[in-house]
Amino acid sequence: MTSKITAQALDHDIPKGTSLWEDALVRLRKNRLSMIGLGFLLFVMIVCLLTPWIAPYGYEEQNLRLGAIPPSMEHWLGTDTFGRDMLTRIMYGGRVSLLVGFIATSVALLIGVTYGAIAGYAGGKTDAFMMRLVDILYALPFMIFIILLMVVFGRNLLLLFLAIGAVEWLVMARIVRGQIQSLRQQEYVEAAISLGLSPAAIIMKHLIPNALGPVIVYTTLTIPNVMLLEAFLSFLGLGIQPPESSWGLLISYGVETMEEYPWLLIFPGLALTTTLFALNFLGDGLRDALDPKASRD
């Protein structure tokens, strides 16, 4: 594998002394699908960010006399049964879906990286105990637990972030721990220890930055998972509650009326699917670029 990478590098005449990141950027740029995915994501993010200013209609603006009409010049994606503009609703729904995606992933990132780094750095019995705990948690049926949590504590957004984040950190912890464990053997870490740096400083300054590649890759792949989970819960009526909205919730409304007004299902569905597509392509591309050894599965 190493020889292949070197050969590739020589092939494209990359000047000597490029850093890992520059090297990865070159590789990522050449992956057309990933670049399209990245572009699309940036577009979706900007649109969602600016929604309150650029949305063509108000979120709750009803036009009961209009009712549900198919896409037209005034309403590009049609309107729902209350005569509300679908494009506007999808834009607002996207804000929540993306927000859940990013925040829950950040929760997972924070817990997973910290836990994995401590276990990997400590090694020995502490490590064995901490990772066994991860194994046990991993065997738990978390989907069921999230539903249970939503039932018991009511359906609020904050809890949703925490619950989803609490599920997704396990794999992250495993990845980081593996990375840290191998990095810990390196001479520069020994040098840092002999200079009297505290473990916390070594982990923060020397180990985590060097384990960043796989973490970034896995983060990109966690976001679509999280968004899917949110949509799944909202579809069942156990996630986002009206008047908040998300793509999952819009899809579940669309299903109710899909026979008469199929566009109410198709457009939110397309929004969710294309965004997940873009995230997955970007994640795959990042994996190939940053972590060429990792298997594609």
Partner 1 sequence: MWRFIGLRSLQAIPVILAVITVTFFLVRAAPGGPFSSEKAVSPQVQAALEAQYRLDQPPLQQYVSYLTDLVQGNMGPSFYYPGRSVDELILQGLPITAELGLYALLIAVIIGSFAGVIAALKPNTMQDYVPMSIAMVGICMPSFLLGPVLVLVFGIMLDWLPVSGWGDSYGDKVLPSITLGAMYAAYIARLSRSGMLEVMSQDYLRTARAKGLPEYVVILKHALRGGLLPVISYLGPAFAALLSGSFVVETIFQIPGLGRFYVQAAFNRDYTMILGTTVFLSTLIVVFNLLSDIAAAWVNPRLRYQFKK
Upper half-sphere CA count for residue 227 (Cβ side, 13 Å): 28
b (16+ CB within 10 A) / e for 239-263:
bbeeebbbbbbbbbbbeeeeeebeb
Q: Which is nearer to partner 1, 62 or 81 (CB)?
A: 81
Asked if residue 52 has a cis previous peptide bond (ω within 30° of 0), the answer is: no
Q: Applying CB under 8 A, does 259 fall inside the site for partner 1?
A: yes
Q: What's the distance, CA 238 to chain centroid?
A: 20
Q: Which stretch binds partner 1 (CB under 8 A): 36-44, 62-70, 188-196, 223-231?
A: 223-231
Residue 68: exposure state from Cβ atoms within 10 A (0-12, 13-18, ≥19): middle
Binding mask 15-54 for partner 1 (x = CB under 8 A): ----------------------------------------
Q: Which is nearer to partner 1, 208 or 231 (CB)?
A: 231
Q: Applying CB under 8 A, does 64 fall inside the site for partner 1?
A: no
Q: Applying CB under 8 A, does 269 fall inside the site for partner 1?
A: yes
Contacting partner 1 (CB under 8 A), which of 64, 144, 158, 195? Answer: 144
Report the C-alpha gap between 33 and 29 in whole angstroms: 10
The runs of H, that is alpha helices, within the chain are 2-11, 20-30, 32-54, 86-122, 124-139, 142-153, 157-184, 187-194, 199-201, 208-210, 212-236, 247-256, 263-290
Q: Applying CB under 8 A, does 100 fall inside the site for partner 1?
A: no
Q: Applying CB under 8 A, does 65 fall inside the site for partner 1?
A: no
**How many residues of this chain interact with partner 1, rule: CB under 8 A?**
43
Q: Which stretch binds partner 1 (CB under 8 A): 47-55, 117-125, 148-156, 195-203?
A: 148-156
CB of 193 to partner 1, least distance (A): 29
Q: Applying CB under 8 A, does 5 fall inside the site for partner 1?
A: no
Q: Applying CB under 8 A, does 258 fall inside the site for partner 1?
A: yes
Q: Does residue 85 sit in helix, strand or coil? A: strand
Q: Which stretch binds partner 1 (CB under 8 A): 3-11, 48-56, 111-119, 266-274?
A: 266-274
Both tokens of 237, joined, read 């009526």
Both tokens of 87, joined, read 């494009």
| CA dihedral for 218, 216, 23, 283, sign (positive or negative) | positive
Contacting partner 1 (CB under 8 A), which of 254, 267, 285, 287? Answer: 254
Contacting partner 1 (CB under 8 A), which of 224, 239, 283, 285? Answer: 224
Q: What is the DSSP letter of 205?
A: I
Q: Which residues bind partner 1 (CB under 8 A)?
A: 135-136, 139-141, 143-145, 147-154, 224, 228, 231-232, 235-238, 248, 251-252, 254-255, 258-259, 262, 265, 269, 272-273, 276-277, 280-281, 295-297
